[in-house]
Amino acid sequence: MNRKLIVLELNEVPDRVIEAFVEQNPYSNWAALTNRSARFIAATPDTIQLHPKLSWQTFHRGVPDVKHGYKEYNQIDAPGKGVYPPVWELLQKAGKTIGIGASIGSTPPPESKQNLKFYIADPFAPTNETTPDYLSYFQKINTMAVQHSGRNVRSGGFSKSDALHLLINLPRLGITPTTCFKTVKQLVSERLNPTRIIRRRNVQALMTFDVVFQQIKNTKPDFCTVFANHVAASMHRYWAARFPDDYESNNMPQEWRDTYAGEIDTAMQEADYMLGKLFRFARSNPEYSIMVVASMGQAAIEHEVVKNQLIIKDFDAFMSMLGMKNYKKLTGMEPEYVVEFSDSAGLEAFKEACERLKILGKSPYLKPMNDTQTAFLVEHTNIELDSVSMGNREVPLAETGLSVEPIQDMSGSTAQHIPGGCCFVFNGFSSLAGHGEPNKENNSIAVTSAIMTALGVTPPDYMEPPVPGIVKAISEQPDRTEGNPVGGLANA
């Protein structure tokens, strides 16, 4: 039986968070599956920046950031683009069928549609192109949700037409009654308790999973991915509430800790739902193995209470202040913004205008991606601001498109990126624990080459040698004589 693989890309989740959740939830899917999985640590080798916009490219392309050259979301070109294609394209060219479920760095789509069963771009994609086409109804909502879930979660952004198209297509998109119920429950909950609006990120992750999982069930590709970011978002903000003793000095007030102590575990509960669905699928389709992997992890950092933050509330007004025309705003992660110009002269003019702009004495920090695109930051927190300087003139804040917004949860980042993230493999029947090395860090590139090897495709010479235990875990034929596992999966 040829093995197939589903990769759940659970962004930035380290073993520390998994073990803490399992300790509190011993009958969860997490507990049952991690007990019987082959467990590893996947550590990114990146040196330019520890960030998922680089580390997922590293994992997918099988080379570190200094070789592939991708540094930003929405970056469609880089020095290593043609030299180091993503793993799904290598598998596709080798004759394997593939599916791509919102993986970071999956823009643009594969040039060839041969062996492509489905494609949903990452939520930062500049277009809503999908395969099959009707998935674009969801992708449009998904990218809008990212733009409305930056430092604060905001309501709105969707037209009635967008919402109607989504509702009409719910059945074939695969968004389940369970997720619909949780969505309604979330909306009611945040009306009763406004702090709960932050949990909309969890609902977005569930919808994405449902849509991708429907495609997996319908098409059964040899290799596919599904990306989820909701746990990472909670960890960044609420680590100091869930793990208050990780700090020499925890600067967050006790009331804040009490309010947000359950947010990481709530996000993990939704991931628990995903694991249960994947396990049941693997039992019904024994040719499949499941890998759960993070391209890096998180850990506690020094932090402060963040009462407000400067954002660009009206992008067109901001660009007008700078004298810019012929541009397109691309999706970014606030307070980082991404803009594309029609030609290189437009980008050069933008650079010059930003040099003249001073916000509390500082200009925006630019990170050019190519000749026409750049990311830029206007990062200021805990400030009072009435105006900015544009050359020799003062511009009132109300005319700049900028806004000093109160932060809903008073948190900046109480955790940040570390190289090592979770990695474990399971199937629907066998215990694979004997193949694992749970305390050993493995180069995430060696995880990528292990995936290819286990699926019968020789990795390129530029990749690291595969992790033997991962190859064995994915390759192992399930022992169907083993009974149901104990714990959360016993009744799955």
Instruction: Specify the CATH number of the domain 4-302+415-489.
Output: 3.40.720.10
pLDDT, tens digit, for every residue of 126-151?
Answer: 888 999 999 998 888 888 776 655 55
Mean pLDDT, the chain, integer: 93
Question: Model confidence over 362-418: pLDDT tens digits?
Answer: 999 999 988 999 999 998 999 999 999 999 999 999 999 999 999 888 888 999 999
Q: Would you kindly state where each structural domain of the chain is located, as residue ranges?
A: 4-302+415-489, 308-406
Burial class (CB in 10 A: 0-12, 13-18, 19+), 385: middle
pLDDT tens per residue, range 7-22: 999 999 999 999 999 9
Query: Exposed, middle or buried by CB within 10 Å (0-12, 13-18, 19+), for 393?
Result: exposed
Q: What is the pTM of this model?
A: 0.93
- For residues 33 and 29, what is the distance between their CA atoms, to the nearest angstrom? 6
Each residue's pLDDT tens digit, 459-485 = 999 999 999 999 999 999 988 776 555
